[in-house]
């Protein structure tokens, strides 16, 4: 006997990706039981602003379990948005540049909604959860964290993620938690288009040239070991599934009708249409050291984010290191270390100390209970719009540590050069996918042989066979290059 769930899924397959009203249940003014996710009604498609207002009013407060689930889903979307955003100005064509940027914005919107709701349990805002947690406090799964790789790897990851999110959100629209259902009602129609976008690219690459097909196959081989983690259950999903608030992806045994894993045969079917064959036991290659799908499970082989944190971050993260450092450094050095935690808003992988734009930090007595702080910074170029954001961030960082009186001075002389950038900062740029400046600045006052222009090395494959596409990239201090060997576009931080 065919269940209503099966009938519904079959209907979707025949109608394509256009049916965005599936599973969004409410009673409209006309008495219909199924409402489109585009209809903004109570209990239906909620925006982050709606959720924040309900949280402030006390009309929407999640239980601890629901808040933890919302945090998990929010972190997944937040990390994926950051990964996809990296393709802006680097995609193989302008239309795709815009498309991936829009998908990243959709994911960021989902993250805002889930994190706003999760914060309702502890009185924290979406910004508190997004910006003021340590690495081990994030709950994202490994698949969403995977580096972009080349374009085919990104498409393979997005293909799997979109199918997973669609099935998950579609079922969450029936959640007994009205706010979760409302967030899912808005998200499901957006990831529906994400499915279609990624499927079209898989088709195009898999059935294109020999090279594009091999890259697409390689993309799936790279991401497939991380798929199994999406469907591992735990006590939290078990409790929420029993209450009807969430979907439980069972790790073994018969697959329930509520599980997102039911979508996998359809994903495999679509891959077969593209002449791609995903082995039924492919997920078995997931390392058995992953005892639990989420970051709080203990020691797991994660993406090495720690390579991107500064020593100043270590002082904040580890109390013992902070105490030892405090006992051996002067107040001025402590103030410098604090200022050095501020990141550049245009290239957030770098701190202002990495860039070399942090020039001086002084403490002085202005008659208050605590010393005032004088921070001197130099812009990378005149009129750099990031300076205002850096000034505000410096004041915020010091205010949180009990320094209310902070003066930030902008100096233009001597002019900043890329010679001031630290070696650690250059290494972070390469890891981030931006080629660091090669050679010394002509403005650095160096004597000796005439400086020659050096070839720019591709940060992806390290090839020197690269070509400049445009002198100015996403910011004035970067140029846009393409690698002639791996065909990947990338930003180059120009020698200034």
Q: Please answer whether residues 431 and 349 qualify as being in contact, where contact means their C-beta atoms are separated by less than 8 angstroms.
A: yes
pLDDT, position 269: 63
pLDDT, position 433: 87
pLDDT, position 108: 93
- How many Cα atoms sit within 13 Å of 375 on the Cβ side? 29
pLDDT, position 329: 65
In angstroms, what CA-CA distances link 341 with 372, 428, 467, 477? Answer: 18, 15, 35, 22
* Distance from C-alpha of 318 to C-alpha of 321, rounded to nearest angstrom: 5
pLDDT, position 462: 87
Q: How far is CA 343 from the centre of its chain?
A: 16
**Phi, psi (deg, nearest 5) at residue 176:** -75, -15
Domain layout of the chain by residue ranges = 15-297, 308-416, 431-493
Strand, coil or helix: 266: helix
* Distance from C-alpha of 266 to C-alpha of 273, rounded to nearest angstrom: 11
| 479 strand-pairing partners | 492
Strands 489-493 and 478-483: antiparallel
Alpha helices (H) along 39-177: 48-57, 64-85, 94-119, 126-131, 142-145, 151-172
CATH number among 3.40.50.970, 1.10.10.10, 3.30.70.100, 1.20.1260.10, domain 15-297: 1.20.1260.10
What does 171-199 look like in DSSP terms, one character per residue? HHTT-SSHHHHHHHHHHHHHHHHHHHHHH
pLDDT, position 28: 36
Question: Sheet holding 406-410: strands in order across?
Answer: 358-364, 372-377, 406-410
Q: Please answer whether residues 158 and 103 qualify as being in contact, where contact means their C-beta atoms are separated by less than 8 angstroms.
A: yes
Q: Please answer whether residues 476 and 381 qualify as being in contact, where contact means their C-beta atoms are separated by less than 8 angstroms.
A: yes
pLDDT, position 428: 87
Q: Name the CA dihedral angle for 178, 179, 181, 183, rounded to a multiple of 10 degrees.
A: 160
What does 212-248 look like in DSSP terms, one character per residue? HHHHHHHHHHHHGGGSGGGG---HHHHHHHHHTSS--
What does 286-350 look like in DSSP terms, one character per residue? S-TT--SSSGGGSS-----GGGG--HHHHHHH-HHHHHHHHHHS-HHHHHHHHHTTPBPSSSTTS
User: What fold, for 308-416?
Assistant: GMP Synthetase; Chain A, domain 3 (3.30.300)
* Distance from C-alpha of 163 to C-alpha of 166, rounded to nearest angstrom: 5
| 269 strand-pairing partners | none
Burial of 413 (0-12, 13-18, 19+ CB in 10 A): exposed
* Distance from C-alpha of 109 to C-alpha of 106, rounded to nearest angstrom: 5
Three-point CA angle 428, 357, 447, nearest 5°: 90
The contacts found for 33-37 with CB under 8 angstroms, 24 or more apart, are: 37/173, 37/185, 37/186, 37/188, 37/189
pTM of structure? 0.55
Task: Report the phi/psi class of residue 58: left, alpha or beta, with left for phi > 0 and alpha for psi in -120 to 50.
Answer: left
Structure tokens at 438: 């090669």
Q: Please answer whether residues 199 and 270 qualify as being in contact, where contact means their C-beta atoms are separated by less than 8 angstroms.
A: yes
Q: What residues in the chain have per-residue pLDDT under 70?
A: 1-46, 248-329, 439, 441-454
pLDDT, position 324: 53
* Distance from C-alpha of 163 to C-alpha of 479, rounded to nearest angstrom: 36
* Distance from C-alpha of 315 to C-alpha of 322, rounded to nearest angstrom: 4
Cis bond before residue 290 (omega within 30° of 0): no
pLDDT, position 273: 63
Q: Please answer whether residues 281 and 224 qualify as being in contact, where contact means their C-beta atoms are separated by less than 8 angstroms.
A: no
* Distance from C-alpha of 38 to C-alpha of 236, rounded to nearest angstrom: 30
**Phi, psi (deg, nearest 5) at residue 125:** -90, 170
């Amino acid at each position: 006997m065919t269940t209503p769930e099966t009938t519904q899924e079959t209907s979707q397959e025949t109608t394509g990706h256009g049916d965005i009203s599936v599973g969004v249940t409410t009673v409209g003014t006309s008495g219909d039981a199924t409402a489109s996710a585009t209809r903004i009604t109570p209990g239906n498609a909620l925006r982050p602003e709606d959720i924040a207002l309900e949280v402030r009013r006390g009309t929407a407060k999640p239980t601890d379990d629901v808040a933890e689930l919302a945090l998990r889903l929010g972190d997944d979307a937040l990390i994926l948005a950051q990964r996809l955003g990296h393709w802006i100005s680097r995609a193989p064509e302008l239309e795709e540049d815009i498309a991936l940027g829009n998908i990243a914005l959709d994911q960021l919107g989902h993250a805002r909604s889930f994190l706003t709701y999760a914060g309702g349990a502890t009185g924290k805002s979406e910004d508190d959860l997004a910006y003021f947690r340590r690495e081990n406090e994030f709950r994202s799964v490994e698949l969403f964290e995977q580096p972009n790789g080349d374009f085919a790897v990104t498409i393979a990851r997005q293909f799997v993620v979109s199918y997973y999110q669609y099935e998950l959100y579609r079922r969450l629209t029936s959640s007994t938690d009205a706010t979760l259902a409302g967030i899912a009602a808005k998200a499901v129609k957006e990831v529906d288009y994400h499915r279609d976008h990624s499927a079209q690219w898989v088709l195009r690459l898999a059935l294109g040239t020999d090279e594009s097909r091999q890259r697409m196959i390689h993309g799936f081989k790279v991401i497939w070991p991380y798929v199994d983690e999406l469907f591992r259950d735990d006590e939290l999903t078990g409790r929420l599934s029993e209450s009807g608030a969430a979907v439980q992806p069972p790790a073994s045994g018969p697959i329930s009708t509520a599980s997102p894993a039911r979508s996998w045969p359809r994903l495999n079917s679509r891959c077969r249409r593209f002449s791609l064959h995903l082995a039924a036991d492919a997920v078995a290659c997931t390392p058995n050291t992953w005892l639990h799908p989420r970051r709080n499970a203990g020691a797991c082989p994660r993406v090495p984010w720690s390579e991107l944190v500064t020593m100043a971050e270590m002082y904040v993260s580890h109390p013992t290191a902070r105490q030892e450092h405090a006992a051996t450094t002067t107040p001025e050095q402590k103030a410098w270390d604090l200022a050095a935690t501020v990141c550049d808003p245009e290239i957030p992988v770098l701190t202002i100390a990495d860039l070399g734009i942090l020039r001086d930090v002084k403490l002085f007595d202005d008659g208050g209970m605590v010393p005032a702080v004088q921070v001197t910074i130099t812009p990378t170029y005149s009129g750099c719009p990031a300076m205002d954001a850096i000034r505000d961030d410096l004041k915020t960082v010091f205010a949180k540590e009990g320094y209310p009186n902070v003066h930030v001075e902008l100096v233009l002389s001597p002019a900043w050069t890329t010679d001031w950038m630290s070696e650690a900062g250059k290494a972070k740029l390469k890891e981030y996918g931006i080629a660091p400046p090669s050679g010394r600045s002509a403005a650095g006052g160096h004597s000796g042989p005439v400086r020659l222009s050096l070839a720019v090395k591709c940060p992806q494959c390290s090839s020197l066979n690269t070509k400049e596409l445009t002198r100015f990239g996403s910011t004035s201090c970067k140029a846009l290059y393409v690698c002639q060997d791996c065909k990947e576009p990338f930003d180059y931080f120009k020698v200034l």
